[in-house]
Amino acid sequence: MITGFVISFAAIIFNASILTNINGRIGALDSENLRLNDALREQLANGNEAEAKYDDFLLAKSIADNSAPAAQEGAQVAASILMNEALTYLFAAANDVPMLEIRRIESEEANSEEMQKLYEEAKEQSRNPPKAESKKSSKDQESEAPPPDAKSDERKLEEAQNEIARFDIEADYANLPQKIAALETISDAVAASKNQTEMALKLFPVNKALNSKWLETVKVRQLRIGELSGRKSEMLRYQSYSTFIALSLQMLGLMIVVVKDVRKSRED
């Protein structure tokens, strides 16, 4: 009889310890799966937002190119902002960087002492605009304006494109401000394009790099989610085996107790 009780008790201890271990592993798998699914949803949302912002940019760019000269500057600025937003969302999706972190850095830069100084200077100039000595025609103003340094602009654009294509985001996001600045450089260059061909040539390298990295990251994450699902199914199968073995041992222990009780009653 004691043997039967020992077997039943051992089965209970065995089942409890095994199930505790298996349930802990299943909980860890569920937690990682939930985290990956949340991150994947954010990545896809950022990618969709990038496409929407790019469509808005194309509209703003068309308006800027077809506006009167007096309104072109404002439309050009709006187009540059929308292009920057599109690239920022795509950059976040490709590098798996939370948009909240990017917004935090942008906010810190906007509130920096340098930006505050520029703001105060601009406000002072708006209050006390400099008096023009004489009115000049637009042709005269254009002739006096310094010629744009095309080679310098091309070099800055290439450096910005290379900066984005490196995909070397540090764990603490220490180099994220440089990436954000590079995105702004690319956005300004794309928005200033004179035609569709120039715009496509400026945008193609970074767009290709970010889209390729984004799709690669999504694929890796999806494969990992599938792997976690398979491991969870395996753990659930082990859980069923453990329960079956424990119940079988408990039944064996009870059978031993019953058999001994029957033998004892017959002997009596």
User: How many Cβ atoms are within 10 Å of 27's Cβ, its own excluded?
Assistant: 10
- For residue 249, give its domain range: 2-110+151-267
- Tell me whether residue 134 is in a domain: no
80 contacts 187 by C-beta, under 8 angstroms: yes
Across all residues in the chain, what is the average pLDDT?
A: 80
pLDDT score of 122 more than 80: no
Q: Could you tell me the CA-to-CA distances from 172 to 4, 90, 98, 175 in Å, in that order?
A: 60, 20, 12, 8
- Tell me whether residue 143 is in a domain: no
- What per-residue confidence (pLDDT) applies to 171? 79
Residue-wise burial string across 88-100, b where 16 or more C-beta atoms lie within 10 A, e elsewhere: bbbbbbbbbbebe
Mean pLDDT of 118-147: 54
**Per-residue model confidence as pLDDT tens digits over 66-111:** 877 777 778 888 899 999 999 999 999 999 888 888 988 888 877 7
Q: Distance between CA atoms of 212 and 200, rounded to whole angstroms?
A: 17
- Report residue 133's pLDDT band, with 50, 70 and 90 as the boundaries: very low
- Tell me whether residue 116 is in a domain: no
- Tell me whether residue 123 is in a domain: no
- Tell me whether residue 20 is in a domain: yes
- Report residue 19's pLDDT band, with 50, 70 and 90 as the boundaries: confident
Q: Domain tally for the chain?
A: 1
Task: Give me the phi and psi of 195, to 5 degrees please.
Answer: -150, 175
- Tell me whether residue 189 is in a domain: yes
- Tell me whether residue 129 is in a domain: no
Q: Distance between CA atoms of 240 and 234, rounded to whole angstroms?
A: 10
135 contacts 79 by C-beta, under 8 angstroms: no
Give 130's DSSP letter: P
Any residues with CB less than 8 A from the CB of 255 and at least 6 apart, and which? 4
- What per-residue confidence (pLDDT) applies to 3? 64
**Per-residue model confidence as pLDDT tens digits over 134-187:** 444 444 444 444 455 677 888 899 999 898 988 888 877 888 999 999 999 999
pTM of the predicted model as reported, rounded to 2 decimal places: 0.69
- What per-residue confidence (pLDDT) applies to 143? 47
- Tell me whether residue 125 is in a domain: no
